[in-house]
Amino acid sequence: MNFSNPWLFLLLIPLLVQFILELYPNFKKDIFPYAKQNIKDINYKNINFRNQKTVRYLILFGIFCLILSTAGPQFGAKVKKVERQGVDLVIAFDTSISMNASDVKPSRIEKAKYEIGKLIQKLKGDRVSIIVFAGTSHLYLPLTTDYEAALLFLSAIDTEMIPNQGTSISSAMELAIATVKKDQNNYKVMLLVTDGEDHEGNAINLAKKAYEAGVEIHTIGVGSKIGSLIPMKQKQNDDIEYKRDKNGKLINSILNIKMLEDIALAGGGRFFHFSNEGDNYSDLNNAIDAMEKRQINSHEYSQFEERFQPLAFISFLFFFIAFSLPTRKL
């Protein structure tokens, strides 16, 4: 048994005081303590004191039941055991400036955010975490089942959030492994979302070590074989220029499919391609659904049902009888 508004029991204190006063036998005879006896006789001769006392008790009992009703009694507890199964999903998101390329519309980073957002909306019981990386990597969102929060964090990702530019896939993979390695009981999956540029070159060896440690790595390539120039906004006037190399030549950023396929192969996963065609997240979502899932946790909870109606009805009956009972002698 439980009450949704237990603080209303404070109203029982004045009710108890009134009930105690009702127990005094001469309480009602002192209504006019300074009146003359002949006036008292005239006032009292037509009063049915027995019914009047009954009415007062009925009203007190009615108020008592009304207070209990408004306090929100809850009965009928149902204990249910809930088991949740899923995987720990770490999304490593490339925020290097090359993700601004527009060979995938509207841009690589916006396309990736859209598709990953659709994927998160389809998750069922899996825990999700987000790592952002460029020249360095950072844990952006710890493991959580709060998908609304994950979508909120995802929407805020851009290529300006990490000042140290570059593409350090290796550091992102190391951080992802550290994020999920603490829990040895769950299946662990890493989604590497990038255009495939790696300025450190140790990603494939790390993928092998991750797979040996129980972390399955899937790579998601965002871009095209044709590639695109890398737009760069100027802080002074918001004009758009394009990134150039040391010799002043325009840089054409091309999706490195071969490297991403090698990382996925070494990590025991698959390579997926986010392009301009169709809903790219659906194949990835099917792959996650097909994974063998382990029990993440189980818990029991009690579900109470509101039972204020019977007490409210009894209170109404007390009031109805009290106001219907005559207090004058017939």
Asked if 96 and 202 sit in the same domain, the reply is: yes
Residues 120-154 have pLDDT tens digits of 998 887 889 999 988 888 999 998 889 999 999 99
Q: Are residues 55 and 13 in the same domain?
A: yes
Q: What's the domain range around 120?
A: 82-298
Answer whether 230's CB lies under 8 Å from 97's CB.
yes
Neighbours of 26 (CB within 10 A): 6
pLDDT digits (tens, 9 = 90+) for 53-91: 888 888 888 888 888 888 877 776 566 666 666 788 899
Beta carbons of 285 and 89 less than 8 angstroms apart: no
Helix axes 49-70, 12-22, angle to 10 degrees: 160
Query: Hey, how many other C-beta atoms are within 10 angstroms of the C-beta on 102?
Result: 15
Please tell me whether residues 107 and 16 are part of one structural domain.
no
Phi, psi of 103 (to 5 degrees): -70, -20
3-state secondary structure of 267: coil
Q: Is the pTM of this model over 0.75?
A: no
Report the distance separating Cα 159 and Cα 72, nearest Å.
52
Domain shared by 167 and 294, yes or no = yes
Q: Assign 201 to helix, strand or coil.
A: coil
Task: Give the model confidence (pLDDT) of 301-325 as tens digits.
Answer: 566 677 788 888 898 998 898 888 8
Q: 288, 31 in Cβ contact below 8 A?
A: no
Asked whether residue 211 falls in the same domain as residue 247, the answer is: yes
DSSP string, 153-178: HHHT--TTS-SS-S--HHHHHHHHHH
162 and 68 inside one domain? no
- What's the total number of domains in the chain? 2
